[in-house]
Amino acid sequence: MSGTLALASAIAEMDRSELERLVRRRRPQAPAGVADPIGLASELLRPEAILRALTPLRGEALGGLLRLAQGEIRDGDETILDALRADGLVGIEQHRPVALPEVTEALHQALRAAGTDPDALARPRPAGGTSDARTIRPPETAGPAAVAEEHTAAGAPDEDEGSWVTAALTAVGHAAECLRLLRSRPLRLNRNGSAAVAAVRALAESIGIEAAQATHALTAIARAGLTAPVATALLVTSEAESWLAADHRGRWSALAVAASSAMPEPLRDALGGSNALAAAAASLPRRYPLLPAPELAAVDDFLADAEYLGLSSRGSLSRTGALLLRGERSRAQRLAEELLPDPAPGVYVQPDLSVIVPGPLDPRDEAALAALTAPEHIGAASTRRITEASLAEAFADGTAPEEARALFARVSLTGIPQPLDYLLGSLAERVGGLVVSESLDGGGRTRIQVARPELADTLAVDRALQHLQLQRIDDTTLASRLRVDHVLTALSDARYLASRSQPSRPAPAESGSPDEAGSPDEAGTAADETGPRGARAPAGAAGRGSPTAAAPGMSRAAEPPPLPAALAELVERVHAAARAEPGSGDFTRRLELAIRDRATVRVTAEARGRLHEFVLLPVSLNAGRLRASDPAAGVERTLPVNLITAVEPA
C-alpha cells in the first residue's frame, strides 16, 4: 500500500510558510514536474529522498516513527510526530497522523544496515538511562571520539588554561607562516579541489612543522576566508593581509570564530549547554543512529581542529571556546585578550645565527624578521635561523642591508653577534652590484644593470647563463628576452648575488584576471611570478573546510535566503492546487493518484437519492468533472465530482 495519498493530504493542509519550509528542507530533485500535492508527495517518497531525510534525525524521532507504524503512540510522541509531519515523513488520514509505508520500510532497512535493532529503538528510553538500540554498530564507524566515552557533562575535567593558550599561540604561528609561504608559492590542488598530499608535506617541511599540523592550519585559514581555491592552486585572499597585520589576539579570534561557526550541527545539538566536547561526540552514534560515517568522521576532524586551535583542551571546551559556541563573541574576545600574553619585547640572536623568539611579536617586527630568516620550529616559542640564503633572498626582494642591520639591532635582546655582523657586512659589499628589472624600452623583457663593466663581460661569456641569450646594451647594461624570474633564478644558480628592482605598479584587483594569470604557455610559472599578491580569490570563493552555515547566535542571518526560482515556483503551484480542488479533497486526491498511476478505482456517486457504483479508469479531472472509461461497459463516463461520495481501490 502506498503512502502517497496520506502524505499528499498532509501537504494539502500546509500553509504557504509550512510548505516553503518543507521544500527548503527536502529539496525535491525534479521540481519542474511537480504541480500538486500528489506530485510533491511522489517526489518526497522516492527511496533516496526518504533516506536523506532520515539520516539527520535523532533516535527519539526515529523511535516515534517506528511506534506510529506499530500503532503505539505514547505520551510525548505528538510533538515528535508534528515535527515529522512538517518534514514530510508522516501522513494524515481523517485528521490523524499515519505512518507512510515507504518511510517505514526505508527506516527498517537503514537501521538494519547501521546495526540497530528497530524494536529496541522503538522502546522509550528509561528515565536517567540510555537506549540499548545500538547493538552491533561496527567499531570502525564509531570514530576515534569513542575513546572519550568516560567524559560526561557533569564530570568533565577542569580546564587547563595553559594548554589552550599554548595551542592558540602555536596555531596562530603556523597559520601566519602558511600564509606567508602561500603568497609566494601557491599550494597545488587536486582536481577535486583538495590539497595534494605531496604539496602539504612540502609546505610543512618548508616551515618546520608536521604535515598534520599543516593540514589543521590550512583548514583554519580556509574557514576564516584567508585562502581560496582558484583553478588548481590555493591562493591567499585580500583578507589575509589585514589578518597578518593584526596582533596575535586578533588573529586567534578570527580563526576561532570561523572554526566555532563550522561545528557540525549534530555535535552542537549533542553538546547542549555542556563543555564536554569529546563526550558529546562519543554520544552521537546513539543520538543519531543513521548518521553516516562521513559525518561522524567530520565530527572527529572538528574535535582535532578544536584541540589544535585551543577551542578545547583534553576533550573539554576552553572558557573562550564555550563563549564562542554560545555566540558571546565580545566576552570571548575580552577573555582571550586577558589570557593571551602580551607581545614579547624582543628576540635572542645567538652566535650560531639561530634566533630564539620567546613569544608572539609585534606584527611588523614579525613580518620583517620572517623575511630575513628561515623557520626551524614554530610554536608558542619559536626558533628561526639566519642564513646567507635567507638574507640574500630578502635583499633580492628589495630589503636594503642597512634595514636588515637596523632591525636586528632593534629587536635583538642580545645585540648583533660577531658572526651576524660579518655576514651582513660581507653580503652588503655584493648587494647592488647586480640589479634585475623589467625592461621598459623594448630592448628585451628583462634588464640587467651591473656596477662594473668587467662584471658585464663575465656575465656575457658565462656558459651557465648562455640560455638567457644576454645582449649587451652598453658597458653596464645587459638585456634578456626571458622573464625576470627566470633571469633571477639562473643568476642565483650560477652563484651571482642579484637583487630585483621593484617598479611601481597599480594595486592588484580583488580577483585575478586572465592577464594576471599569464598566457597559456606561461601557466606553469604564472602563479610563481605573480603569486597570491597579484591574484586574489573571486568574491564568494570558499576554501577547503569553509563553513556552509553560521552557528546560532553567531553570524547567521535572521531570515533564510530565498528559495531558488524552481523551488519557489513549485511552492506556488502546489499551494494553489491544494486550494483549487473542487469537492472533497480526499476524493479528488484519490482520483488524481489513480490518473497518475493509471489504476482503476471503485467510485460511488449519489444521484436523485440513489447510490450508483462504478469501476472506472480515471482519465482526467477538470472543471469539477471526472472523465473516466468504464472497462466493463465499454463506454466513457463523465461524473460531477460533487456527486461522488466514495473513492476506493478497485
Q: What is the mean pLDDT of each run of 10 residues along the chain (650 residues)?
A: 82 91 92 87 92 92 91 80 92 88 93 88 59 34 35 38 86 96 91 89 92 95 94 92 95 95 92 90 92 92 95 92 90 92 95 95 95 93 91 80 91 93 81 75 76 83 89 89 88 77 44 37 36 33 36 43 90 85 61 80 84 87 83 86 79
Q: Is the pTM of this model over 0.75?
A: no
Give the whole-angstrom CA distance, residue 571 versus residue 22. 9
**617 and 623 Cβ atoms separated by less than 8 Å:** no
Rounded to whole angstroms, how far apart are CA atoms 258 and 546? 8
**Which one, of 265, 289, 2, 363, lies nearest residue 122 by Cα?**
289
Question: CA 460, CA 468: separation in Å to the nearest integer?
Answer: 10
DSSP notation for 21-33: HHHHHH--S-GGG
Alpha-carbon Rg for the chain, nearest whole angstrom, is 35
- What CA–CA distance (Å, rounded) separates 531 from 514? 14
Task: Map 36-78 to HEC letters.
Answer: CHHHHHHHHCCHHHHHHHHCCCCHHHHHHHHHHHHCCCCCCHH
What beta strand segments (E) does 216-347 contain?
A: 227-230, 233-236, 312-313, 316-317
Q: What confidence score (pLDDT) does residue 529 get?
A: 35
Q: What is the pLDDT of residue 431?
A: 63
Integer Cα distance of 234 and 223 in angstroms: 13
Q: Residue written as cell 461522488? A: 644
In terms of DSSP H, where are the helices of 343-387?
363-372
Q: Can you give the pLDDT at residue 445? A: 84
Which element (helix H / strand E) includes 629?
A: strand 625-630
Cα 502 versus chain centre, distance: 37
Q: Which helix (H) or strand (E) holds 376?
A: strand 374-377
Q: Report CA-CA distances (Å) from 5 to 14, 84, 92.
A: 15, 17, 9
d(CA 84, CA 86): 5
In this structure, is the dihedral angle defined by the CA atoms of residues 477, 534, 399 and 175, taken in order, positive or negative? negative
The three three-digit cell numbers of residue 42, written as one number: 511522489
**Cell numbers given for 234:** 590555493
pLDDT at res. 626? 84
Distance of alpha carbon 337 from alpha carbon 355, whole angstroms? 26
With contact defined as beta carbons under 8 Å apart, do 333 and 294 qualify? no
Given a contact cutoff of 8 angstroms between Cβ atoms, the answer to whether 344 and 358 are in contact is yes
Contact between 50 and 102 under an 8 Å Cβ cutoff? The reply is: yes
Q: Closest Cα partner for 271 from 286, 288, 283? A: 283
CB 160 within 8 A of CB 331: no
**280 and 152 in contact (C-beta within 8 Å)?**
no
Cell of 246: 593584526
d(CA 534, CA 507): 8
Name all domains of the chain by residue range, CATH numbers in brackets. 4-136 (no CATH), 161-339 (no CATH), 350-427 (no CATH), 434-496 (no CATH), 581-649 (2.30.30.100)
Burial class (CB in 10 A: 0-12, 13-18, 19+), 76: exposed
Residues paired with 82 in a beta bridge? none
Q: What is the DSSP string of 590-636?
A: HHHHHHHHT--EEEEEEETTEEEEEEEEEEEEETTEEEEEETTTTEE
**Cα–Cα nearest to 367, from 326, 312, 327, 411:** 411
Q: Which residue has the cell 527511496?
A: 47
Is the dihedral angle over the CA atoms 343, 348, 354, 358 positive or is it negative? Answer: negative
Contacts 24+ apart (CB under 8 A), 404-408: 404/372, 407/365, 407/368, 407/369, 407/372, 408/349, 408/372
Q: Taking Cα atoms as reference points, which of 594, 585, 597 lies closest to residue 642?
A: 585
Rounded CA-CA distance 436/318 in Å is: 52
State the angle between helix axes of 161-184 and 363-372 in degrees (0 to 180), rounded to the nearest 10.
Answer: 50
Secondary structure class of 472 (helix, strand, coil)? strand
Among residues 33, 30, 31, 14, the alpha carbon closest in space to that of 22 is found at: 14
Q: So what's the pLDDT on residue 632?
A: 83
10 Å CB burial of residue 99 (0-12, 13-18, 19+) is buried
Q: Which helix (H) or strand (E) holds 264?
A: none
Cβ burial of 137 (10 Å; 0-12, 13-18, 19+) is middle
C-alpha cell at position 450: 651591473
Q: Which three cell numbers stand for residue 157?
A: 575535567
How far is the C-alpha of 339 from the C-alpha of 335, rounded, in Å? 6
